[in-house]
Amino acid sequence: MSPETREFVPLSDAGLRAVSGPNSRHAALLEDAFHVLVETPGGGVSLAGGAKARAAAKRAVKAIADRADKGVAVSEGDVRAAATAARNGEAPVGMSGIPLGRRGAVAPKTAAQAAYLDLLSRNDLVFAAGPAGTGKTFLAVAHGAGLLLRGEVDRLVIARPAVEAGERLGFLPGDMNEKVDPYMAPVWEALSDILGAEPLKRRRDKGEIEVAPIAFMRGRTLNHAFVIVDEAQNATRLQMKMVLTRLGEGARMAVTGDPTQVDLVNRGDSGLVHAIGLLEGVDGVAVARFSAGDVVRHPLVERIVRAYDADAAKAGR
Would you say residue 284 has pLDDT above 80? yes
The answer to whether residues 47 and 151 belong to one domain is: no
158 forms beta bridges with 211, 228
Range of the domain at 60: 10-87
Contacts of 253 (CB under 8 A, 6+ apart): 124, 125, 126, 226, 227, 228, 229, 244, 247
pLDDT at 14: 92
Is the domain of 70 the same as that of 155? no
CB neighbours (10 Å) of residue 300? Answer: 9
Asked whether residue 121 falls in the same domain as residue 194, the answer is: yes
Q: Are 135 and 256 in contact (CB under 8 A)?
A: no
For the chain, what is the total number of helices (H) and then of strands (E)?
11, 11
Residue 247 lies in a domain: yes
Residues 131-148: tens digit of each pLDDT: 988 889 999 999 999 899
- 86 close to 78: Cβ distance less than 8 angstroms: no
Helix (H) or strand (E) holding 47: strand 44-48
Does position 211 have pLDDT exceeding 60, yes or no? Answer: yes
The number of folded domains in the chain is 2
Q: Are residues 68 and 39 in the same domain?
A: yes
Is there a single domain that holds both residue 55 and residue 159?
A: no
pTM for the structure as a whole:
0.71
Asked if residue 296 lies in contact with residue 133, where contact means CB atoms within 8 angstroms, the answer is yes
Task: Evaluate whether 148 touches 227 at the Cβ level (below 8 Å).
Answer: no
Residues 77 and 129 in one domain: no
With 50 as the cut, is the pLDDT of residue 2 above it?
no
Q: How confident is the prediction for the chain on average, in pLDDT?
A: 84
In this prediction, residue 196 carries a pLDDT of 84
The whole-number average pLDDT for the span 85-108 is: 66
Q: Residue 179: which pLDDT band, with cuts at 50, 70 and 90?
A: low
117-129 pLDDT, tens digit each: 989 999 999 999 9
Query: Is 221 a member of any domain?
Result: yes
Q: What is the pLDDT of residues 242-271, one digit of tens each?
A: 999 999 999 999 999 999 888 888 888 899
Q: How confident is the model at residue 4 (pLDDT cuts 50, 70, 90)?
A: low
Q: Which of 40, 33, 85 is nearest to 54 (CA)?
A: 33
Report the CATH number at residue 173. 3.40.50.300
Torsion over CA of 37, 42, 45 and 46, rounded to 10 degrees? -50
97 located within any domain: no
In contact, 294 and 110? CB cutoff 8 Å: yes
- The pLDDT assigned to 86 comes to 85
CATH number (domain holding residue 83): 3.30.1370.10
* Cα(61)–Cα(45) distance, integer angstroms: 9
Co-location of 266 and 145 in the same domain: yes
